[in-house]
Amino acid sequence: MSEVVIIDSGGANLASLQFALERLGARASVSSDTAQIAGAPRVILPGVGSARDAMQRLRALDLIERLPRLEQPVLGICLGMQLLYGLSAEGATPCLGVLPGTVERLASQPGLPVPHMGWNQLALTARDPLLEGVHSGDYVYFVHSYAAPVAEMTLATTRYGIDVTAVVRRGNFWGTQFHPERSGRTGAAILGNFLRVS
Amino acid sequence: MVGDILELAARYRDDGADELVFYDITASPEARSVDRAWVRRVARGLDIPFCVAGGIRSVADAEEVLNAGAEKVSINSPALADPDLIDRLSARFGAQCVVVGIDSQTVPGGHRAFELAGDPGRTRDSGRDTLQWVAEVQDRGAGEIVLNCMASDGVRRGYDIEQLRAVRAACRVPLVASGGAGSAVHFRDVFQQAGVDAALAASVFHTGAIVVHELKRELRDAGIEVRPWP
């Protein structure tokens, strides 16, 4: 049975992620224990709330230095993906720096309210084990006000006025801007793939 | 009752519903809040977003509901009684978790937000102009607005396009239309004519008068982008 530790990043709503992993047959626990997180076979960094609060929380957990050095598969979801970048424009917050670049605020435009909340289509830009069985045009569920620009490490994009990073990877670190735990079958496929990547 | 809800939720999910909203509409009139245990049971089985509404009056109430697995909380009467609740929820959880529901009644010269609409005997005019309230809740940090047009609610003659257009013009966050759906054409019209981000309905789905995947096919054929049904 796959085992995953979800970092208790302080935001509410970790239950839906935990339930989604359990539906896939994984054993998922929520932890704020630094040693348990560091020793987990797989780690998920979730995140709801502001970048500043989340980084303070990671600092309190003594994970600022340790998290970027983890060698097991790590998946950042939503804000958790944004925290993998160098900087977030949300409160000009320095983040973990696993990925280069700055997370910027989405520009509100007529017909494109911010936060961007809803189902949107993926466009795959690279092949990756995390996206096995996932296709361009598949819909996933987004809830965000900030987004990462499209760059070399982007695996999939989504268009909300502009193209932004929907899935990213650097080495053993993956990130999804959307919520796979709330994205129906496509999301379940991605979480299932994460349980298998190495 | 909870069993019925779980079954219903799974059926809608399988039929292509994009999001589910669970309203415990008598919670506020009965001075209680929604049961966390069933929120948890819903979350355990559901892999699409869902929002929970009903008597959420504090950050602690909202935290429990979100921790139980809801994606968002929706507040209505408690926000009218304590508008600062919106600020507190938004600061704590982020705007994306905070939906403000507005029961809007048409009155001479405009529209007013009504309180306790879940209890026909006690519902009353809050004294707040709907458009002003829409502006205020956004300033306070609402991430989404559900506008339920009371005059059309339950009548199944279509959404209140005129009112929704007026609110759309004042609303920079996602706007969900509620109240009045009776046919697929009503959904098409509210998307095309009022520019809402989503349309909500209850009774037409519960009775089977409208089937989600058939509705989505009609909307797609009308040129409206919809997420494909399974």
A116 in active site: no
Question: Is the peptide bond preceding residue B83 cis, with omega within 30 degrees of 0?
Answer: no
| Nearest CA distance, B138 vs chain A (angstrom) | 11
How much is the pLDDT for A11? Answer: 66
In degrees, to the nearest 5, what angle opens at C-alpha B114 toward C-alphas B138 and B137?
5
CA–CA distance, B16 with B228 (Å, rounded to integer): 7
| Chain A hits for B171, Cβ within 8 Å | 113
What is the CATH number assigned to the segment(s) B2-221? Answer: 3.20.20.70
Please tell me the pTM assigned to this model: 0.90
A contact test, residue of B47, B61, B224 with most A CBs within 10 A: B47
Residue B213 belongs to what H/E stretch?
A: helix B212-221
How much is the pLDDT for B176? Answer: 96
CB contact under 8 Å between A182 and B198, yes or no, is: no
For tokens 């004294």, the residue is: B127
- For residue A47, pLDDT beyond 90: no
Going from the N-terminus, what domains does chain A have, and what CATH number goes with each?
A: 3-194 (3.40.50.880)
| Nearest CA distance, B65 vs chain A (angstrom) | 8
Q: pLDDT tens-digit profile of B24-71?
A: 877 777 877 778 888 999 999 999 999 999 889 999 999 999 989 999
End-to-end CA distance of chain A: 15
Which has more confidence, B48 or B5? Answer: B48
Task: Provide, rounded to the nearest whole percent, the portion of chain A with pLDDT above 90.
Answer: 82
Q: What is the ipTM, given to two decimal places?
A: 0.87
Choosing from A95, A116, A144, A181, the catalytic residue is A181
Q: pLDDT tens-digit profile of A2-20?
A: 899 999 977 667 899 999 9
How much is the pLDDT for A36? Answer: 95
Contact call for residues B174 and B167 (beta carbons, < 8 A): no
Bridge partners of residue B150, in order along the sequence: none
Confidence of residue B229 (pLDDT cuts 50, 70, 90): confident
Contact call for residues A125 and A156 (beta carbons, < 8 A): yes
Distances (CA, A) of B222 to B12, B158, B162, B164, B194: 22, 17, 21, 20, 15
Distances (CA, A) of B56 to A27, B84, B173: 32, 13, 21
In this structure, are strands A99-105 and A146-147 parallel, antiparallel, or unpaired?
antiparallel
CA–CA distance, B144 with B210 (Å, rounded to integer): 25
| Chain A hits for B68, Cβ within 8 Å | 15
- For residue A67, pLDDT beyond 80: yes
- Give B37-94 as a DSSP string: HHHHHHHHH--S-EEEES---SHHHHHHHHHTT-SEEEESHHHHH-THHHHHHHHHH-
Task: Determine the residue type at B127.
Answer: G
Bridge partners of residue A78, in order along the sequence: none
A contact test, residue of B6, B67, B96 with most A CBs within 10 A: B96
> How many of the other CB atoms lie within 10 Å of CB of B4?
8
Q: pLDDT tens-digit profile of B15-25?
A: 999 999 998 87
For tokens 């995390």, the residue is: A130
Residue B186 belongs to what H/E stretch?
A: helix B184-194
